[in-house]
Chain A
Amino acid sequence: MKRFLKTHEFCVFIVIIILSAAITLINPNFFTLENGLDLFKSYSFMGVLAIGILFVLISGGIDISFAATATIAEYVMAVVCLRFGGNIISALLIASGIGIALGAFNGLLISKFRIPPIIATIATMNLYYGLLIVVTGGKWIYALPDWFRYFADIRIFTLVSKTNTPYGLSVVTLFWIVITAAAYFILRFTMLGREIYALGGDINSAERVGFPVKRLQVFVYSFMGFIAGIAGVIQALLVQTVAPNSIVGKELDVIAAVVLGGASLSGGIGTVGGTILGVVLIAIVKNGMTLVKISAVWSDVVIGVVILISVGFSSWQQKKEQSKSNIDIDGIEVES
């Protein structure tokens, strides 16, 4: 218990509670089930992507290309559904298949050719996104099939608010819940999960212990691609239009959310719980600012400050821990 109180996740949790209390004091509409469920629906896109990025960060890598991957998966899925029909299962299969293929290519570049992940995925982002716009001509898709629209409106349970509008737990949120549960299981209870942590902790040790390092890297980036494909479908379900340029540019926001949740960019550290809290914190900041009527132009300033304070605080603590256990050398980290 005492160890839990010192974790990064706990700090984020406290911040969330304080923020929620403050926002509720100003605008009681914030702390309602309706607003909460609505937030969980609209942030499921970011939440799902965050799980994928968490895997990549734990393995010690980074992925900038997932927004481009998600867009391509979304677009192809929509085109296929419009031309050949299908149902939600086939849509998910198509999108995640494309995601896995594009992600595996990243993994191949990183593991086989030893290209630093940030360089490799910046390159593939440009490649994927550029080709997508060239091939599609940047055209939006408005008319999605009816079954696709109906599916997005399904609720797991329905309640009625005071003003007689129905609300409830959206099926879209269910995607997020299922993926989060699966990720938690993989990371916590499978050999695969422990191997990914080992890979991020120290790639050389992992290799010497006998873990299939290269195969793990390909898996991690393919998994990111898979998640990006699912996220593409979620985005299409949420907004019911497919725009080639609507997701690209949000990569760094998602990475920021995961980092807020305590994942380290140097690998080996990060939890599913923390990642959810990170996404929730960003959601609350953005939603809360609207509810307390602070102009939207300030939202990035606030998020920037939150990120800097949060990562600054945790890095500072890490540095203090390290200098306690090592000979005190200013400015040295073992590996960054």
Chain B
Amino acid sequence: MKSVAGKKNELKVLSIIMVFSFILMTILNPQEFLRTGNIQGMAFQLPELGILSLAMMVVMLTGGINLSIIATANIAGITSAMILTLPVAGGGDLSGGIILLSLIAGLAVAVLIGAINGILIAYIGVTPILATLGTMILVNGINIALTKGYVISGFPLPVRFIGNGTLLGIPFPLVVFLILAFFIALLLKRTAIGFNIYMYGSNKISTCFSGGNNNKIIMSTYIISGLLSGFAALVMISRFNSAKAGYGSSYLLVTILASVLGGISSEGGFGRVSGLVFALITLQIISSGLNLLRISSFMTIAIWGFVMILVMVVNYYIDRSRENVLRIVS
């Protein structure tokens, strides 16, 4: 049993880890780490991974997993990019209408992939890992077939603003991320869909018996996940000013890591957006800090793996001591 107080504790631990890692990196690299350039760089890098992690998180709350988020993001990005670079569209000076259309088309494709996942899992009864593994391979294949492996690049200025612009000094992608995180937090906390997602993750049979429509819950979860991947795609193609089949494939496992670090239970039912945000900031601090120290990015990958194991082992001992306490009390 995890009580509300327990959850509050977890957030406290996460924020302590975050502050600790910030102080550590500052001590290790006092001149460079606190530079505005570095802080701003971190703020530009975080949102992509952040939005993708949100997409992973909502699915993990239902006890599932979505391996197709990166593939979905790429197909959304490629769709937008193909419309934006249509020869008829003239390339450089596009009208606002076409730009908007291309972005909406990208999001629509992402929603479609999410819906396919949802149908496979809810109505056909495929396990989430398998269904999303299948769509991942399929969508990746479509991406390669569509682009023939080439990069589609050269977008108009307004599109490039999404990933590179600043709003009152705050990087615009960060604004996008914060808005999305706020909406997802609101959705999970204050709406029936959110309540049902947590319920389903805790116990799907009792959810069904208490009047939840399980199929609808799964459908909406995977559609939300797809939509979030679509938003991640917009930030991604705009930051790189290009779209390609393999972009961001290394993010997949990091999104799971961020979710697990952020206290989202991989069996479903528990976890909050605030925890995820703390975990993301911590990861970004560590990876930027290590990067400034000229440590190989593969060492960072190894450290991720180690941290993930450490967190799970610590969680195991915390859970066990809590169980012991409960046993003594009762």
**Chain A residues with a Cβ under 8 A of chain B:** 62, 109, 113-116, 118-120, 122-131, 133-134, 138, 252-253, 255-256, 259, 264-266, 295, 297-305, 307-308, 311-312, 315-316, 318-319, 329-333, 336
Is B253 interfacial (CB 8 A cutoff)? yes
Contact with A along B213-250 (1 / 0, CB 8 A): 11100100000000000000000000000000000000
Check if B305 sits within 8 Å of A123, measured CB to CB.
Answer: yes
Check if A133 sits within 8 Å of B137, measured CB to CB.
Answer: no
Bound complex: CA A297 to CA B140 (Å): 10
Is B148 interfacial (CB 8 A cutoff)? yes
Check if A252 sits within 8 Å of B136, measured CB to CB.
Answer: yes
Within 8 Å CB of B296, what residues of A?
Answer: 133-134
Is B98 interfacial (CB 8 A cutoff)? no
Check if A330 sits within 8 Å of B215, measured CB to CB.
Answer: yes
Bound complex: CA A146 to CA B142 (Å): 43
Within 8 Å CB of A123, what residues of B?
Answer: 257, 304-306, 308-309, 312
Check if B253 sits within 8 Å of A125, measured CB to CB.
Answer: yes
Is B135 interfacial (CB 8 A cutoff)? yes
Is B139 interfacial (CB 8 A cutoff)? yes
Check if B137 sits within 8 Å of A316, measured CB to CB.
Answer: no
Given contacts A118-B129, A126-B302, whether A302 and B267 have CB atoms under 8 Å apart is no
Check if A113 sits within 8 Å of B316, measured CB to CB.
Answer: yes
**Chain B residues with a Cβ under 8 A of chain A:** 63, 65, 67, 120, 122, 124-131, 133-142, 144-145, 148-149, 204-205, 208, 213-215, 218, 253, 256-257, 260, 266-267, 296, 298-306, 308-309, 312-313, 316
Label chain A's interface by main secondary structure.
helix
Starting from the known contacts A300-B138, A308-B134, A319-B125, 6 additional A-B residue pairs (CB-CB under 8 Å) come to A113-B313, A124-B309, A130-B301, A130-B305, A259-B133, A297-B148
Within 8 Å CB of B299, what residues of A?
Answer: 130, 134
Check if B141 sits within 8 Å of A300, measured CB to CB.
Answer: yes
5 closest A-B pairs by CB: A304-B138, A130-B302, A300-B141, A127-B305, A126-B305
Check if B130 sits within 8 Å of A331, measured CB to CB.
Answer: no
Bound complex: CA A129 to CA B300 (Å): 11
Within 8 Å CB of B63, what residues of A?
Answer: 336
Write 29 A-B pairs (CB below 8 A) sorted by A numbering.
A109-B309, A109-B312, A113-B313, A119-B312, A122-B308, A123-B305, A123-B308, A126-B302, A130-B299, A130-B301, A133-B296, A134-B298, A252-B136, A252-B137, A256-B137, A259-B130, A259-B133, A265-B127, A295-B145, A297-B144, A297-B145, A298-B141, A299-B141, A311-B126, A311-B134, A319-B125, A331-B204, A331-B213, A331-B215
Given contacts A256-B133, A312-B126, A316-B124, whether A126 and B308 have CB atoms under 8 Å apart is yes
Within 8 Å CB of A316, what residues of B?
Answer: 124-125
Check if A124 sits within 8 Å of B136, measured CB to CB.
Answer: no
- Closest residue to B253 on the A side, CB-wise? A122
- Closest residue to B64 on the A side, CB-wise? A336
- Closest residue to A64 on the B side, CB-wise? B253
Nearest CB on B from A212, distance (A): 20
Check if A301 sits within 8 Å of B316, measured CB to CB.
Answer: no
Nearest CB on B from A103, distance (A): 15
Query: Which among B137, B256, B306 has the greatest number of chain A C-beta atoms within 10 A?
Result: B137
Within 8 Å CB of A336, what residues of B?
Answer: 63, 127-128
Bound complex: CA A300 to CA B142 (Å): 8
- Closest residue to B71 on the A side, CB-wise? A304
Check if B308 sits within 8 Å of A300, measured CB to CB.
Answer: no
Check if B257 sits within 8 Å of A122, measured CB to CB.
Answer: yes
Bound complex: CA A125 to CA B301 (Å): 9
Nearest CB on B from A7, distance (A): 18
Bound complex: CA A105 to CA B62 (Å): 29
Check if B256 sits within 8 Å of A304, measured CB to CB.
Answer: no
Within 8 Å CB of B135, what residues of A?
Answer: 304, 308
Within 8 Å CB of A116, what residues of B?
Answer: 266-267
Bound complex: CA A307 to CA B131 (Å): 9
Within 8 Å CB of B140, what residues of A?
Answer: 300, 304
Bound complex: CA A115 to CA B124 (Å): 29
Query: Which among B141, B214, B253 has the greatest number of chain A C-beta atoms within 10 A?
Result: B141
Given contacts A130-B300, A131-B302, whether A302 and B141 have CB atoms under 8 Å apart is yes
Nearest CB on A from B31, distance (A): 26
Check if A332 sits within 8 Å of B205, measured CB to CB.
Answer: yes
Bound complex: CA A303 to CA B124 (Å): 19
- Closest residue to A125 on the B side, CB-wise? B305
Given contacts A130-B301, A255-B133, whether A312 and B120 have CB atoms under 8 Å apart is yes
Bound complex: CA A192 to CA B130 (Å): 27
Bound complex: CA A298 to CA B304 (Å): 34
Nearest CB on B from A326, distance (A): 11
- Closest residue to B145 on the A side, CB-wise? A297
Q: Which of A124, A265, A301 contacts B305 (CB 8 A)?
A: A124
Q: Which of B128, B144, B302, B309 contacts A134 (CB 8 A)?
A: B302
Nearest CB on B from A224, distance (A): 17
Bound complex: CA A122 to CA B135 (Å): 20
Bound complex: CA A126 to CA B283 (Å): 15
Check if A333 sits within 8 Å of B125, measured CB to CB.
Answer: yes
Bound complex: CA A266 to CA B253 (Å): 21
Bound complex: CA A305 to CA B120 (Å): 13
Bound complex: CA A193 to CA B286 (Å): 44
